[in-house]
Amino acid sequence: MATIEKNPDDKNTCKNAEALKLTNDPVKCGFSGIEKAILACKKCPLHETVTNKVIGKGSTAPKVLFVGEAPGKTEDEKGIPFCGRAGKELDKMLEYMALSAEDWAVINTLKCRPPGNRNPTKPELESCKPFLLAQIELLDPKVIILLGNTAERAFCPGRKLEWGIPENFDGRIVLKLYHPAALIYTRLREEVQKEMIDQNRGLWE
Ligand code: SF4
């Protein structure tokens, strides 16, 4: 199971998922508390078919936080986000963005794989959203990059962001770019993605 490494300063952690439920404040529970709560979660039916829940990877103090969609087959098997073909595309993006290991982290809107890689449903996104918000709060990135429309639907339901145009949400800069998987199937988008990155480099450099 790959997780975002625990911050050595993450002292204020809950002892277990039950404690997390009782406090009703995941942020107070720190990275380890959130991880325990995710692993114990049965809030939507996806827990019945999941092999490994996928929590996140990368820095615990990222400048840029990528928010993907949901684990795919390889991610579900390994418990690591973006470890399949989409992961290779994300690696290319990281290189193009000139981000080093301590500069970024990646999480998904859902922690469990929807069977057959179908799109997440609205109730599933709503059920998992407290984890998404808690991870954002703890990771406290300078910029949130929503990778595609599902990440947008989860983060700001009902809102439509322009591709590549940053917006301010409660003091956080949010930018919507293409999901790396979308670049695999439509190579033309790769050039557009690079243009959007070039136009926004000032957000993280
Ligand atoms: S997808 Fe999220 S809400 Fe649903 S069971 Fe998994 S962790 Fe819980």
Q: Please report, in tens digits, the pLDDT of each residue of the chain (205 residues total).
A: 345 544 444 444 444 454 455 346 666 778 988 999 999 999 999 999 999 999 999 999 999 999 999 999 999 999 999 998 899 999 999 999 999 999 999 999 999 999 998 999 999 999 999 999 999 999 999 999 999 999 999 999 999 999 999 999 988 999 999 999 998 878 789 999 999 999 999 999 9
Task: Name the amino acid, one letter, at 202.
Answer: G
> Which pLDDT score, from 0 to 100, does residue 17 have?
52
Atom of ligand 1 nearest to the CA of 47: 5
Task: Note the pLDDT of residue 29.
Answer: 79
pLDDT number for residue 113 = 97
Nearest ligand 1 atom, CA 50: 6
Exposed, middle or buried, 43 (CB in 10 Å: 0-12/13-18/19+)?
A: middle
How much distance in Å is there from the Cα of 174 to the middle of ligand 1? 24
Sign of CA dihedral 27, 44, 38, 125: negative
Query: Which residue from 3, 53, 117 has its CB within 8 A of the most atoms of ligand 1, so it is best to mutate?
Result: 53
Cα radius of gyration (the chain): 16
Phi/psi for 89 (5° steps) reads: -70, -40
Q: Is 34 in the pocket of ligand 1 (CB under 6 A)?
A: no
Domain over 17-203 is classified CATH 3.40.50.300: no
Distances (CA, A) of 73 to 112, 114, 118, 148, 153: 10, 9, 11, 19, 22
CA 113 to centroid of ligand 1, rounded, Å: 9
Strands 64-68 and 104-108 come out as: parallel
Longest CA pairwise span in the chain (Å): 49
User: What percent of the chain is modeled with pLDDT above 70?
Assistant: 87
Q: Give pLDDT tens digits for 138-191.
A: 999 999 999 999 999 999 999 999 999 999 998 899 999 999 999 887 878 999
Q: Which letter, b or e, does each residue of 124-151 get, where b requires 16 or more Cβ atoms within 10 Å of its Cβ?
A: bbebbeebbebbbebbebebbbbbbbbb
Cβ–ligand 1 distance for 172 under 6 Å, the answer no
Ligand 1: residue whose CA is nearest its atom 6: 112
What's the chain's average pLDDT?
Answer: 89
d(Cα 43, Cα 167) in Å, to the nearest integer? 31
Q: Say yes or no: CB of residue 111 within 6 Å of ligand 1.
A: yes
Place of tokens 């956080």: 172
Q: Is 183 in the pocket of ligand 1 (CB under 6 A)?
A: no
What is residue 23's predicted lDDT score, i.e. its pLDDT? 47
